[in-house]
Chains A and B, each alone.
Chain A
Amino acid sequence: DIQMTQSPSTLSASVGDGVTITCRASQRISTWLAWYQQRPGKAPKLLISQAGSLESGVPARFSGSGSGTEFTLTISSLQSDDFATYYCQQYKTYPWTFGQGTKVEIK
């Protein structure tokens, strides 16, 4: 199975800060990577697919990059709505696997 490892596990930041979350795959997955946002008590929401393709309706302050084994999700200027947990997921091969999550909390 492909293991996905996110860092950091928790990130403290203020409104207006720029933040970056890293996701590493245990083997090369090209750009078969998605990012999700999950607010407490809610279902996850797809933000980005194919490592860098922004889903329709997702604000442009979100961006994704990377290929192979290392990927990043960047939020250019945190808004109050962005305090949530973020997950990466590889979809190169079965079984489809998620990272353990990165919680972005208010400093």
Chain B
Amino acid sequence: EVQLVDSGGGLVKPGGSLRLSCAASGFTFNDYSMSWVRQAPGRGLEWVSLVTTGSNYIYYADSVKGRFTISRDPAKKSVYLQMNSLRAEDTAVYYCARTGRVAEYFQHWGQGTLVTVSS
């Protein structure tokens, strides 16, 4: 069974940093791209970042480019999102998601971790 467990969320002040983690199990981690998708309170889904297999390609939404860094560790079967220079508008539930085998739809999702940026 595919499982994605998100962690690392919390309350942080504007301008602060946070690192999210996603632990994966139940599938061959190296065969799939991994992504982060967020959802601000009461709002819709927003794709944030994606890392392909082998970390060969990395993509970011314009709203986080230059502030967030995605990475993956095959040995730990984990993906991370380093978030710097956080803003109030980054407040959201952040979901880790695994893509399909050869296409970037989001086939499996973590439970989400809440990031609150507030002074």
A interface residues, Cβ below 8 angstroms from B: 32, 34, 36, 38, 43-46, 49-50, 55, 87, 89, 91, 94-101
Query: Is A96 within 8 A of B47, CB to CB?
Result: yes
Query: Is A91 within 8 A of B105, CB to CB?
Result: yes
Give every chain A residue within 8 A of B32 (Cβ-Cβ): none
Give every chain B residue within 8 A of A101 (Cβ-Cβ): 44-45
Query: Is B47 within 8 A of A43, CB to CB?
Result: no
A87: contacting residue among B45, B61, B103, B110, CB under 8 A: B45
**What are the 7 tightest A-B residue pairs by CB atom distance, in nearest-first order?**
A34-B105, A43-B109, A91-B104, A98-B45, A96-B47, A101-B44, A49-B105
B interface residues, Cβ below 8 angstroms from A: 35, 37, 44-47, 50, 59, 61-62, 95, 100, 103-112
CB < 8 Å A-B pair total: 56
Query: Is A49 within 8 A of B103, CB to CB?
Result: yes
Give every chain A residue within 8 A of B45 (Cβ-Cβ): 36, 38, 44, 87, 89, 98, 101
Task: Give complex CA distance A34, B109 in Å.
Answer: 14
Shortest distance from the beta carbon of A34 to any chain B beta carbon, whole Å: 4
Give every chain B residue within 8 A of A44 (Cβ-Cβ): 37, 45, 95, 106, 109
Give every chain A residue within 8 A of B37 (Cβ-Cβ): 44
Give every chain A residue within 8 A of B61 (Cβ-Cβ): 95
Give B105's nearest chain A residue, CB to CB. A34
Query: Is B105 within 8 A of A98, CB to CB?
Result: no
Give B60's nearest chain A residue, CB to CB. A95
